[in-house]
Amino acid sequence: MSGERILVVDDDGRLVGLLTEYLGDHGFVVESRLTGGEGLARLAMSDQDVVILDVMLPDMDGFEVLRRIRSGSDVPVLMLTARGDETDRIVGLEIGADDYLPRPFNPRQLHARLRAILRRRRPPDPESRTPLVFGELVIDRASRRVSLRGRTCRLTSYQYDLLRVLAENAGRVLSRDVLMDATKGETWEAFDRSIDVHVSRIRAAIEDDPKSPRRIVTVRGAGYVFTDEAERDAP
């Protein structure tokens, strides 16, 4: 892995310098911006493979920056939070962050998280490229796109992988631990409710009524199961 472009949006000049040097030594092409506005402007001008986004920025908080990114882009975003507050992490995941990392952190840990994010973005092996079709819901494993009635469903790379695992095991109840093991690669550091937050976002994208889901069903005390009930009952 080399040459992937990373945009760091953080006003901590010392940290930015360290990350630029460390990630550059590992083959990444790193750019940095000190404010949310500058980061958004740079993203509008050039594609990036990953964005590292601090929650605390001088002009707007990272959550607002993430909202604006997600209004038009599915670029992976790893958020940094100084407080390490679980609430911050949940909010970031709900808005569309792919991962989070509490500060302070070891650069090796950040590097591992970036590798996991980029690995999830790689095209699948040829034998697993056949689309998964459940009535009007199509999970295209070749392009990593999900559509419902021809409309693209916006999911983060992690949410796509979570949905794919559930769909590939349709009819089987998968516990949260199994889901985390199947989707984390080597580096995902889960916390209470992380899977639930992601499932909630997936439901908002693929369910006709997210409050009464029929495709991803909760099995109390056991986990989640993907069903094709919505398609079986369709007229």
Length of the chain: 235
pLDDT at residue 119, rounded to an integer: 79
Q: Which DSSP category does 106 fall into?
A: -
pLDDT at residue 90, rounded to an integer: 79
**Whether the model pTM is above 0.85:** no
Closest CA to 62 of 23, 103, 24: 103
pLDDT higher than threshold 60 for residue 78:
yes
Domain with CATH 1.10.10.10 in the chain: 126-232
Classify each residue of 81-98 as buried b or exposed e, where b means 16 or more C-beta atoms within 10 Å of its C-beta. beeeeeebbbbbbebbbb
Dihedral angle sign, alpha carbons of residues 116, 155, 212, 170: negative
Q: What is the CA radius of gyration of the chain?
A: 18
pLDDT higher than threshold 80 for residue 2:
no
pLDDT higher than threshold 70 for residue 54:
yes
pLDDT of 7-25, one tens digit each?
Answer: 999 999 999 999 999 999 8
pLDDT at residue 128, rounded to an integer: 63
Q: pLDDT grade, residue 188 (50/70/90)?
A: very low
Average pLDDT of the segment spanning 81-105: 80
In the chain, the largest separation of any two C-alpha atoms, in whole Å, equals 60
Domain with CATH 3.40.50.2300 in the chain: 5-121
Dihedral angle sign, alpha carbons of residues 56, 192, 168, 4: positive
What is the rounded average pLDDT for all residues in the chain?
A: 86
Percent of the chain with pLDDT over 70: 88
Average pLDDT of the segment spanning 120-126: 65
pLDDT at residue 194, rounded to an integer: 78
Q: Scan for tokens 């369910």, then name that residue.
A: 207
Q: Scan for tokens 């007229």, then name that residue.
A: 235
H runs (alpha helix) in 71-212: 86-95, 107-121, 157-168, 176-183, 194-206
Q: Tell me which CATH homologous superfamily contains domain 5-121.
A: Response regulator (3.40.50.2300)
Closest CA to 161 of 86, 93, 218, 98: 98
pLDDT higher than threshold 60 for residue 1:
no
pLDDT at residue 84, rounded to an integer: 58
d(CA 185, CA 118): 11
| 126-232: CATH number | 1.10.10.10
Closest CA to 208 of 109, 137, 157: 137
pLDDT at residue 229, rounded to an integer: 66
DSSP count for the chain of H helices, then E strands: 9, 12
Average pLDDT of the segment spanning 107-111: 89
